Structure formats: C-alpha cells, structure tokens
C-alpha cells in the first residue's frame, strides 16, 4: 500500500476535523470537496456562506458536505476575542483590536484549533508563510519544551517501495544555531512518529561526514548533536553526515561505519534554509 493511501486510511479512521480559512482559493475548495467526499476528515470552511457557495458553484465543486462558518457572525467570536486579548494584552493589544483581529480567518481558524473545535488548520495557498505562522504562533504558540518553530516536508516518491523521507527545516528558520537545529531534529522526529507511525532515524546533514572537514558551519552541526546527547532524546540520530552517507548504505559503510543512522536515515535535518529549500524543491 502506498504511503499516501495509508495516510488517507489513518486520517479517515481518526475521524478528525480540519479548518480551511482560505475559502476564496480554488485549490482550497477543491481539496475541501475531496476531503469531505472521501470522508477523510470533517471539513470547516471559513468565509461568508453565500460567497463561498457561489465561488464553489462557479468552479463546479461540490462542498455540500462541508461546514461553513463566517467568523464575523459566529457565536464564538467574542469568546475567541477575549481569549486572544488575555493572551496578548501584555504586548499592548486592546480588546477592540483583539476583536478586529479575530475577524481574520487565519486567526479565527487558529483559535478553533486552540479551543479544540478543529484538529488542525491548513493554510498558505492564498496567504504568505509569514502570515500563517504569525497567526499560529500568536494564537496557539510553540509546543512545550521547544523554543523553535520549524517546518517539515514529507517527501513521497511515486515508486511504491521507495522510502519516505522527512525534510526539515525547509521554510521557516533561515540560519538556525545549534540549539535550534536540535529543536528542529526533535520536533521532526515527533512529527514522523505522529504522522507516519514509524521510527525516525535522524541525520544532521553537513558538507562533512564525521570529521572529513573542519569549519564553523560543520561545528554548528556537531554542537547540535551534542545538545541532543545532553537531552537524552528517545530517537536515533547522528551527525555530522553528508547526504550520501546518510541514505546510501554502501557509502555509509566506508564513511561512517560506526553510525547507528548512516545508510538508512529517513529524517533529514538540513543545516540552513538555503540547503533545505533547495533540497526539497
């Protein structure tokens, strides 16, 4: 069974809900119809009801199985605004400003997740990554124990028997320091377990493998490994590793024979955003 089919089946079995704040985007509407039609998840679209339905009709998309909530008319709006005000008042936010911000679908959707009214939110088709992250950070916040927000990309091959890799961080932190790299490794390992259900083997990537080069950029990756050592994390990891040593067993045997990850890494942590973004694209 291909990994995408496995994920669809797992999502359908969970029976969760997803909020999509960008109901003006045609890709979002198509995805909503597909998710609801296949019963993969309960879908909540945010926007003015008549406008959303009219847009879907023009596109020939059936969203009849989706819920539609207009933040401006929601009975939850004032409670959401009050919660947001209490969370941000020390930053100088007023109650009036909190109410205004909660009319924004990104913030309203994030608050639905915060309040447990949706299992997750998907956005970024019509908004920038920065805007999506800002809403998520201000409303939901960072996972306890971590200070770094990062992204994870699931890299799926069209060939059924190929491994599925997780790449991080490819979209958020431009030049992570050692502690941030360790945070990225930890959160990505957790994501792999939660979504794919298998054990992460995390490679901290570099242009050096186990001392083949010396440079401050290599030292950063080595320090990240040392931080993971000190944290006594519960997943397999190693670094610094070049990509070939991380995923090609024959290369790993010669370059990193004593590594518990080299040759079969499935979770790749790139040293900076340039490398990660180029890698996933």
38 close to 12: Cβ distance less than 8 angstroms:
yes
DSSP assigned state of 228: H
The predicted-structure confidence for 168-200, as pLDDT tens digits, reads as follows: 999 899 999 999 999 999 999 999 999 998 999
217 in Cβ contact with 242 (< 8 Å): no
Q: How does pLDDT run across 63-75, given as a tens digit for each residue? A: 999 999 999 999 9
Output the CATH code of domain 153-280. 3.40.50.10750
Residues 3-139, CATH architecture = 3-Layer(aba) Sandwich (3.40)
**CA–CA dist 53, 64 (Å, integer):** 9
What average pLDDT does the structure give for the chain? 94
Tell me the per-residue pLDDT of 217-265, one tens digit each, with 9 for 90 and over: 999 999 999 999 999 999 999 999 999 999 999 999 999 999 999 999 9
Cis peptide before 169, with omega less than 30 degrees from 0? yes
Grade residue 279 by pLDDT with cuts at 50, 70 and 90.
Answer: very high
Domains 3-139 and 153-280 share a fold: yes
Each domain of the chain, given as residue ranges in start order, spans 3-139, 153-280
Under DSSP, is residue 143 helix (H, G, I), strand (E, B) or coil? coil
CB burial of residue 23 (10 Å; 0-12, 13-18, 19+): buried
The CB-side HSE value for 195 (13 A sphere, CA atoms) comes to: 18
Instruction: Round the CA-based radius of gyration of the chain to a whole number and report it.
Output: 21
In sequence order, the β-bridge partners of residue 129 are: none
Global pTM value: 0.85
């Amino acid at each position: 069974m291909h990994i995408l089919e496995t994920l669809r089946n797992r999502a359908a079995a969970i029976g969760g809900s997803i909020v999509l704040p960008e109901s003006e985007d045609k890709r979002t509407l198509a995805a909503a119809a597909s998710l609801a039609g296949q019963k993969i998840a309960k879908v909540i679209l945010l926007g003015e009801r008549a406008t959303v339905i009219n847009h879907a009709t023009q596109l020939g998309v059936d969203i009849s199985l989706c819920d539609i909530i207009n933040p401006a008319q929601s009975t939850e709006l004032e409670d959401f605004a009050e919660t947001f005000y209490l969370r941000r008042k020390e930053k100088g936010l007023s109650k009036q400003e909190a109410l205004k911000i909660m009319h924004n679908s990104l913030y309203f959707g994030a608050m639905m997740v915060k309040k447990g009214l949706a299992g997750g939110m998907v956005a970024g088709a019509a908004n920038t990554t920065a805007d999506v992250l800002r809403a998520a950070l201000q409303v939901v916040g960072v996972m306890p124990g971590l200070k770094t927000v990062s992204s994870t990309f699931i890299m799926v091959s069209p060939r059924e028997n190929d491994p599925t890799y997780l790449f991080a961080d490819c979209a958020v932190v431009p030049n992570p320091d050692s502690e941030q790299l360790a945070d990225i490794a930890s959160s990505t390992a957790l994501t792999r377990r939660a979504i794919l259900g298998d054990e992460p083997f995390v490679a901290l990537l570099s242009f050096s493998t186990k001392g083949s080069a010396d440079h401050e950029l290599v030292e950063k990756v080595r320090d990240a490994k040392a931080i993971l050592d000190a944290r006594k994390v519960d997943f397999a990891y190693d670094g610094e590793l070049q990509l070939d040593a991380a995923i090609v067993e024959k290369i790993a045997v010669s370059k990193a024979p004593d590594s518990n990850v080299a040759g079969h890494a499935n979770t790749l942590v790139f040293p900076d955003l340039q490398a990660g973004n180029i890698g996933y694209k």
